[in-house]
Amino acid sequence: MLVQFYNVSKIYPNGVKALDDISLKIDRGEFLFLMGPSGAGKSTLIKMLFREEKPTRGQIFIASRSVVRMKRSEIPSLRRSMGIVFQDFKLLESKTVSENVAFAMEVVGARNHEIKNRVPEVINMVGLKGKEDAFPGQLSGGEQQRVGIARAIANQPLILIADEPTGNLDIDTSNEIMDLLYSINRKGTTIIMATHAREIVKAAHKRVIMLEKGRIITDDSSGDYAL
């Protein structure tokens, strides 16, 4: 088991109950969709994985390490084992596209020549060739989103966490991105993806977890998703 949630609840300081007694196991190499209406708790669940938020109750293990009891100094190495696509992109405004991607590799201590080779490669994969030297403020919404994806896959992470990675993409670009994710998944990366895109989920035949009001209402491993 790569990821384990035991009775996890999250109540934000303002009293909002975002997650309610979630238990969940995710295997190494799985591809998991998180679905559910706006405000169901998808992003909250995802933020628990890399400890942007701590659960109010319950335990979370990733590769058998407790994320909840983890020391402050251990957090960076946890996050470095993951690639994260944020719902709001979170790009470094003062760095170009290349620099944003390179930064994620510098953080993990990659070698200079690795960075030099890998950065153009992933930028190409997400279809942003030609935008290497643009700053995030000079990109369209979908282009920014794809920079976020490129950054997340650059380090070939053990786990890829993607929060609504196609929300700003047209269907063709979405499909290209999904193909990219499937191929990464096939190479062994575990992928957890929150999304509203029913077409994508329907076509994928992967495990789907439906959240509503902070609870898991269905966990369908077959992927025969229907609503």
Ligand X SMILES: Nc1ncnc2c1ncn2[C@@H]1O[C@H](COP(=O)(O)OP(=O)(O)OP(=O)(O)O)[C@@H](O)[C@H]1O
Of 157, 194, 22, 25, the closest CA to residue 80 belongs to: 157
Instruction: Supply 174's token pair.
Output: 């979405």
Tally of residues, the chain: 227
In angstroms, give the least distance from the CB of 177 to Mg ion: 16
Rounded to whole angstroms, the Cα distance separating 6 from 1 reads 13
156: which residues sit within 8 A by CB, 6+ positions away? 184, 187, 189
State which residue, 42 or 118, has the beta carbon closest to Mg ion. 42
State which residue, 19 or 104, has the beta carbon closest to ligand X. 19
Rounded to whole angstroms, the Cα distance separating 130 from 122 reads 13
Give me the residue label for tokens 């993409």: 169
| 223 counts as binding a second copy under rule CB under 8 A | no
Give me the residue label for tokens 């976020």: 148
- Site residues, ligand X (CB under 6 A): 12, 14, 16, 18, 36, 38-44, 87, 137-143, 168
State which residue, 35 or 161, has the beta carbon closest to another protein. 161
Q: Which does 124 bind (CB under 5 to 8 A by kind): ligand X, another protein, Mg ion, none?
A: none
Rounded to whole angstroms, the Cα distance separating 79 from 90 reads 15
Of 141, 143, 121, the closest CA to residue 131 belongs to: 143
Contact residue for a second copy among 77, 112, 117, 140 (CB under 8 A): 140
One symbol per residue from 167 to 206: x for binding a second copy (CB under 8 A), - otherwise; what is it? Answer: xxxxxxxx---------------------x-xx-------
Stretch that binds a second copy, among 115-123, 160-168, 184-192, 217-225 (CB under 8 A): 160-168
For a second copy, the binding residues in 74-133 under the rule CB under 8 A are 87-88
Q: How many helices (H) and strands (E) does the chain have?
A: 7, 10
At 60, which amino acid appears?
I
- Applying CB under 8 A, which residues contact a second copy? 12, 14, 16, 35-39, 42-44, 87-88, 134, 138-143, 145-146, 163-164, 167-174, 196, 198-199, 227
- Applying CB under 8 A, which residues contact another protein? 50, 52, 76-80, 82, 84, 86, 90-94, 103-104, 106-108, 112, 151
